[in-house]
Every structure is written in C-alpha cells, then in structure tokens.
Amino acid sequence: MEMKQYIEEAEAALLHTYNRYQIVLDKGDGVNLYDMDGKRYLDFVGGIAVFALGYNNKEYNDALKNQIDKLIHTSNYYYNVPAIEAAKKLKKASGMDRVFFTNSGAEANEGAIKAARKYAFLKDGCNDHEIIALEHSFHGRTMGALAVTGNPKYREPFEPLIGHVKFGQMNDFESIASQVTEKTCAIMLEPVQGEGGLVPATEEFLKKLRALCDEKDILLIFDEVQCGMGRTGVMFAWQRYGVKPDIMTSAKALGCGVPVGAFMMTERVAQSSLTSGDHGTTYGGNPLATAAANKVLEIYERDNIVGHVQETAPYLWEKLDAILQKFDCITEHRGVGFMQGLVFDRPVGPIINKALEKGLLLINAGANIIRFVPPLVITKENIDEMVAILETCVEEEVCI
C-alpha cells in the first residue's frame, strides 16, 4: 500500500484530534527518520523530547527484546526486577527518595497532585486545599493535569475541572506569594516551560519559592516531564539551581519511546501522603516499561549523555543566535541546553512545512515559536545541517 493510501485510511479510522503532517514514518536510525518512500528526515523533534538516545540504538533494542522473551506484565500485586533496578537508578539520578512508575507524564502529574492534596488532608482533615500553578504552563490533558495547565484554550471546553487552582506568573514571585493562603497545599511549575515558550525559571525565583514553601509547609512540585532527563545540561533541571522540590515528575526521555513516567518525592512527603489504596495503575511499572527506563538510565550514566549536552548545546545556541541576528522576523532566542526556541513575529507553520519538504523535522511551541528538542546525541554536524535548511526555509517563506 502506498503512503497516500495509508494516510487516507488513517483519516477514516482514527479520531481526528491531531493535525498530522502528511507523511508516514517507517523507520529511524541515529538522528534520522525515514518515511515509507525512503525519504530521510533530520529529526530535531525527538518525538517531542522523547527519543534522547536516537533511533535504533542496538543496546536499548536488545534490552527490550530480552525482556519481552522473559516477562512483559504482571500487575503491581507482585514485585519485578526491572522496576526495582529502575527505581534505584532513578533515585540516584533525581536525588529523590521514593518512586511511583506511571504510563505517561500526565499520569505522573495526576499522582503528584493527589500526593499534595493527601499531604494537606492529613494535616487538617479538610479537602478544600489550593494549588498555585503558572500561566502558560502545560502539565497534560487528563482532568487533573489540565486543571493546573495555565492556558485557557486547553481548559475551558472541559470545565468544570478539579477546583481550587490559582495561577501566577513565571519569574514573578509576588504574583504567587500574594495568592498564598492557609489553604495552599502546593506550588507547581515546570523549571523550564516547554509548550509555554521555552522559558526557564530564574534561580532567584526558584529559591524564593523554596523558602516560601519551607516557611508555610507548602509542597513544591516540579514538572520535569520535558525539561528533565539531561535536556537542560543537568540530569534534572532543578539541579542547575540547587533548588530541590518535594515532589517531581518525569516521563518522555525516561523511556526513550516506551511509555513510562514517574512521580517521585522526598521521604518526608512519602511518610505523610499516599499510602496503600490511595493510588494505583495496572500497567505502571510493568517489567517491559521499566526495562526500558533501566537501560536508558544505565546508558545515560555510562556514556555521559549529560556531558555531551553540556558540550554540544552551546554550539546550537551559537548557531541559533546567528540566525536571530540575521533575520528581522525573528524577535527572540530562548531556552537552555537542547531545549531552545526562536520567536518569530508571525506564525511559524509555513516555515515548519517548508522544512518538512526539505527533510527537516521541526515543531512549534505556540503559533509563533519554533522549538528545538532534538535527540540528546545530536552532533555539531547535525546542527550545521539543520541550520542550513532552516535558513533557506526562513528566506523562502517570510524573510525575503
């Protein structure tokens, strides 16, 4: 069957909740993807910051194949070795004390919200506690995660959501502190906003939030689903600032393609929040998913993936900065590590479409920002190729 026929069948069978690009991807190798016709695409999307190790990593593939031949699923009524090993590695990498494996980032954020509310409930027996999140944040599309997502266009069609949620501004401490009451149980944010435009939190802002939470016995929750797992040049973004959260979430690159997420917490919170029967998941932490996470964490440590990001990401910054200076239609360059964005004075859809035609995969973050979240194993040569294509696309589409 030809690619066009597959696309027609997909449109007839799948729920139309995505405006997909008109290609059918067939295989990947390294930092390249190939469609059914064999056309190569340089990938600067990484499955939306998921495929950190690149495609067709033999060691990763073999770990999954070996686990499939042993045991895929048992349920959480029983222990399994991959989950135990992955939890140990994740504790070491994250600096947290307790791990709960989920199937996605949204589910990890749901668990974090539940843990915070249970922590507060155990203190006073009330169930009217408030969470303060940030404008322009994105935490997922389930009903709880959606409630703390700071973009009305995602929330409004599905209201009423869970209540008692307020919103402050990134890097504006007073916008949060002024909303704190005796009912505030948690402050939740992404240390680097992804969908919200590649905006990093400042060290001062995070340190003030940490001090406020310590003073008021409020839990500080960091959503590191996109910005974690080495993407910013440290294993988790909070480690750049030394501001440790009480609860942290992870997913995306944790499984490098296999659906697995996690929420983690300090021992103090673990001893005073969720207990037996409070939370669960049928698939979360199954042997196949955690075999993936276990191998990913092993490769990260052995091959110093974070060190490669530290070495190579400044080159991406330098090249994108040069593009910023070259074109008047680009107004800003944001981000950190391999999580960067170029802000345009107009919608970027035509540029992304033109790049696709020329064999480069890019995505947006909002209507006017191109987001760069490539596999973490990207090289300077790959960056040069991307920049050459991108410049041509900008020149042809908007900045002649």
Q: Average pLDDT of 356-378?
A: 97
118 has pLDDT over 90? yes
Q: Are residues 104 and 233 in the same domain?
A: yes
Structural domain of 351 = 3-57+304-397
Cβ 222 vs Cβ 187: under 8 Å: no
Considering the domain architecture, whether residues 348 and 393 belong to the same structural domain is answered as: yes
Residues 269 and 318 in one domain: no
Cβ neighbors of 172 (< 8 A, separation 6 or more) are 205
User: Percent of the chain at pLDDT above 90?
Assistant: 98
Over 90: is that where the pLDDT of 287 sits?
Answer: yes
- Looking at 258, 280, 303, the residue that finishes a domain is 303
Full DSSP string of 85-136: HHHHHHHHHH--SEEEEESSHHHHHHHHHHHHHHHHHHHHS-S--EEEEEBT
In angstroms, the CA 341 to CA 319 distance is 12
286 and 315 housed in the same domain: no
Query: Among 137, 202, 216, 147, which Cα is nearest to 172's?
Result: 202
Phi, psi at residue 82, to the nearest 5°?
A: -60, -40
Span 220-252, pLDDT tens digits? 999 999 999 999 999 999 999 999 999 999 999
Q: Which pLDDT score is estimated for 400?
A: 54
Same domain, 364 and 342: yes
Are residues 183 and 172 part of one domain? Answer: yes
Q: Specify if 63 maps to a domain.
A: no
313 within some domain: yes
Any domain includes 154: yes
Query: Per the domain annotation, does 45 fall within a domain?
Result: yes
Question: Cα torsion for 315, 318, 323, 328, to the nearest 10°?
Answer: 160
- Decide if 124 is inside a domain: yes
Work out the pLDDT band at 1, boundaries 50, 70, 90. Answer: confident
Rounded distance between C-alpha atoms, residue 400 and residue 397, angstroms: 7
* Within a domain: 266: yes
CATH value at residue 40: 3.90.1150.10
pLDDT at 354: 96
pLDDT at 397: 79
Q: How confident is the model at residue 91 (pLDDT cuts 50, 70, 90)?
A: very high
User: What tens digit of pLDDT does each residue of 11-54 get?
Assistant: 999 999 999 999 999 999 999 999 999 999 999 999 999 999 99
Are 209 and 297 members of one domain? yes
- Is pLDDT above 90 for 399? no
Q: Give the Cα separation of 313 and 372 in Å (integer).
A: 11
Q: Are residues 240 and 120 in the same domain?
A: yes
| pLDDT > 70: percent of the chain | 100
Same domain, 154 and 215: yes
Q: If you average pLDDT over residues 349-361, what whole number do you get?
A: 96
Which of 269, 303, 337 terminates a domain? The answer is 303
Structural domains of the chain, count: 2
Question: Hey, what's the torsion of the CAs at 153, 156, 162, 165, to 10 degrees?
Answer: 60
Contact in structure between 243 and 207 (CB atoms under 8 Å): yes
Tell me the DSSP string of 185-203: EEEEE-SEETTTTSEEPPH
168 plus 274 within the same structural domain: yes
| CATH (domain of 173) | 3.40.640.10
Q: Which of 303, 325, 352 is the last residue of a domain?
A: 303
pLDDT at 216 over 70: yes
Asked if 145 and 264 sit in the same domain, the reply is yes
Residue 62 lies in a domain: no
321 in the same domain as 342: yes
- Alpha-carbon separation of residue 280 from 201, 211, 284 (angstroms): 32, 32, 8
Tokens of 83: 């989950």
